[in-house]
Structure 1
Amino acid sequence: MKVLSTFIFTILSFLIGALCLFGLIHYFGVDKLTAPSPIIAVLVLPLAYCLQAIYKLSDLKESQQLNGDEARRLFYIVDVKRGRLFTCIVFYFLSAIFVGISMMIGDGGQLFKKITLIISGGLLGVTVFTIFIIYSLMNEVTNFKAKLVRREQDEKHRKM
């Protein structure tokens, strides 16, 4: 169910981003919206946030407060989430490459530029959506670390 809802939200965010950029194209015209640098910058910007999330997840594997069963389950979850984050990184790179190449080609006429900008808007929408997913993941990691610290403090108080 979670995969289906993520897929639906991804499609919706693509459509919203595409519609927003389509509105800008309609309002300003195609010729005035041919600056790929800002679009590429926004597509690549979440890379740092994504890498930070990967490092935070990796730090969880070093936790000493888990028993063997908990550690095994946690390692599996961390590996799955890191894989998803690497997928996001690949998406950011491929999106930026698509926008860069399509803007360099640019001689395809007005229709080509319009379609390229609409797809770029969709990619921007998906990028914004993935930022929220990464933010949610970072909150999960922070809450889990806090839970481990509280559990360790509770164990110390019980021993006293």
Structure 2
Amino acid sequence: MSVGAAVSTVGAERLPATVRTLSSLSRIDYADHFVLPTNAAATVEQWARVMFGDTPDVIELFVWRGLLGLRLSRTASADTVAGWQIGEQGDEWIRLEARSWFVAANLVVQATSDSVALGTFLRYDHWPALLVWPPLSVLHRRLVPGVLRKAATRIAAGKVRSKVPSR
């Protein structure tokens, strides 16, 4: 397996239009996009499930549900990834959606034959988002390259389920 270093872009205005348009948010107040060169092969939904699992782990629950208040599904489903609703997907991308009373969020995973990418998009609906997300975003930007590398390693090792949870 060939894996390079992840390259990041922060700021909606700095992202290519082709990436920005994958978000379902009416306004983007925060955006980042990380791209990892890799030849590990899987469907885009498999990439998303390897990155995040079918249900959120304890740390994801603490951040996503506890700190951000995101309403996530509590059970594994073919319609969700780690509790996030699958909003839409194409051949090379999948958009996960969640929201709370103060923030709406999209995670967009893209996969091609030579790279995998993760984009995070947020819309601040009420003032707590301005207090909560900026410090969390620092941690988020430190963790994402590792999430991508770990997923690439697992996919290259064949640790991918071919079947998703039933509907």
Question: What's the TM-score once normalised by structure 1's chain length?
Answer: 0.29
Q: Which has the higher helix share?
A: 1
* Larger RCO: 1 or 2 (CA < 8 Å, sep 6+): 1
Question: What's the TM-score once normalised by structure 2's chain length?
Answer: 0.28
Q: Which has the higher strand share?
A: 2
